Amino acid sequence: MTLACAAALLFAPAACNRRRDSGAVVVSAIGGVPDAADARRGPIDLPSRLLIDSTAQGLVRFDAAGQIEPGLAERWIVIDDGMSYIFRLREATWSDGSRITADQIVAMLKRQIVPASRNPLAPFLSAVDEIVVMTPQVIEVRLSRPRPDLLKLFAQPELALLRLRPPGGSGPFRIAQPGAAPLLRPVYDLNRADPEDQLEMQPERDVRLIGERAARAIARFAHRDSDLVSGGSFADWPLLATADIAPAAIRVDPAVGLFGLAIVSRTGFLAEAANRAAISQAIDRTALTAAIAPNWEAADRILAEPLDSAGLPQVPSWTLLNQDERRAGARLRVATWREQAQSGPIAMRIALPAGSGATILYAHVAAALLRIGILPERVAIDAPADLRLIDLVAPYDSARWYLANACIVCSAPAQAALDAARAAPTLAER
């Protein structure tokens, strides 16, 4: 039941909100304390991703426009019909000055993608068959099937090459002052910078990275005690109405991904596809997204475009109906099922995060369910539930990523199809 694509909030300095231009740049990232975390242990939040992205890098990385640029690899070629990626490494050092070797890079990448890894990208790297050192300057990534989006995955912070002791990598910054709000200092890179640009260290080039709750980050920015707020979600958006922040200072990152309610229980009423469709069509997506943030375009399908799928996205049969007709059809379906099953009132547990935006979302969803004869109950995001909110940004453009994350509890045929698509060697078979 996709409602709209995911989006992130970004507050940047505007004329009426600019703080005094002296000392380090202060950045608030919405989340926990920044930590150079090991992605093998599970997902990492935004403050930690920013810390890793600043102090480390992968074989490749994203530039300011979101395009792939060299990282630890200065260049690369793709051969054997996309089955082999060969990377030539540049000279680089760890944060302590020791040289980064090809053997270290290969070992670190392998650890992130082994079956036991909890790296969120590991399931989408199953096509990696082998990573080998060819020479001290060259490594090869061999695939079992082509992956045109491989570089986009290698550019993610989850696959940055990072040492935990001492923490750091070969990124553009080093941790000058560790702690709960680390101070990051730019590193002069002989391989990338013009020697004429080597200047005496200036405090204004440092970055103070703070991880904190959205309310604190917004208040800090409103009081001109920070230069940038990054992160946030729909749950935090209504907080902006309570802060004195110039509209010109607010940016919305048009990220693509999944935002909607996933079915996590297929028992009782939710066991039948027609019943699940009734819930989906009962929710007024346009009104819901407009209540949280203006100009937030709603979606009525998991895939808005084919991406790497040979088939066209499936369009729900009710899309041509107006909202009243959708609601009437859903109400009839609920009543029919209750009569046939001789069931009492249908209860539906909806798992949502904390936050005012989530409260607005629940109000709309709960009202929609009540109108068709279902009793809603809000539960915590990690509590047992029937429907659970998904709010994810896609790391790369793949139909399989969308389907795998949306289908949390799939039928056996659907799961088999997803597994077969993952192993399919060609686009047509996929």
Residue 219 lies in a domain: no
Give the pairing type, strands 167-168 and 228-231: unpaired
pTM, to two decimals: 0.84
Residues 282 and 205 in one domain: no
Residue range 69-115, pLDDT digits in tens: 999 999 999 999 999 999 999 999 998 889 999 999 999 999 999 98
Domain ranges, residue 45: 32-212
The answer to whether 78 and 68 have CB atoms below 8 angstroms apart is no
Residue range 124-157, pLDDT digits in tens: 899 999 999 999 999 999 999 888 889 999 999 9
Please give the average per-residue pLDDT across 320-336, as a whole number.
Answer: 95
166 upstream amide cis, omega within 30 of 0: yes
Residues 179 and 274 in one domain: no
Residues 199 and 315 in one domain: no
Residues 127 and 55 in one domain: yes
Residues 202 and 344 in one domain: no
Residues 308 and 415 in one domain: yes
Counting the structural domains of the chain, the total is 2
Which pLDDT score, from 0 to 100, does residue 7 have? 43
Please give the average per-residue pLDDT across 276-285, as a whole number.
Answer: 94
Distance CA 379, CA 237 (A): 21
Residues 267 and 367 in one domain: yes
Residues 328 and 406 in one domain: yes
Residues 190 and 76 in one domain: yes
Among residues 212, 233, 266, the one where a domain terminates is 212
Residue 94 lies in a domain: yes
To the nearest 10°, the Cα dihedral for 323, 325, 331, 334?
Answer: -100
Residue 26 lies in a domain: no
CATH number at residue 295: 3.10.105.10
- Tokens describing residue 236: 């935090």
Residue range 342-377, pLDDT digits in tens: 889 999 999 999 999 999 999 999 999 999 999 999
Which pLDDT score, from 0 to 100, does residue 358 have? 95
Please give the average per-residue pLDDT across 283-310, as a whole number.
Answer: 83
The answer to whether 73 and 89 have CB atoms below 8 angstroms apart is yes
The one-character DSSP state at 90 is P
Give the pairing type, strands 60-62 and 68-70: antiparallel
Among residues 184, 212, 240, the one where a domain terminates is 212
CATH number at residue 83: 3.90.76.10
Residue 8 lies in a domain: no
To the nearest 10°, the Cα dihedral for 48, 56, 202, 34?
Answer: 10
Q: Which percentage of the chain shows pLDDT scores above 90?
A: 62
Residue range 230-259, pLDDT digits in tens: 998 999 989 998 888 888 898 888 788 899
Residue 318 lies in a domain: yes
Task: Give the list of residues 6+ apart from residue 295 with CB closer than 8 angstroms, or none.
Answer: none
The angle at the Cα of 399, spanning 397 to 403, to the nearest 5 degrees, equals: 130
Q: Which residues pair with 235 in a beta bridge?
A: none
- Tokens describing residue 60: 């490749």
Please give the average per-residue pLDDT across 325-340, as a whole number.
Answer: 96
Which pLDDT score, from 0 to 100, does residue 427 have? 60
Q: Rg (Cα) of the chain, in Å, rounded?
A: 24
Residues 163 and 273 in one domain: no
Lowest mean pLDDT among 10-14, 184-188, 194-198, 314-318: 10-14
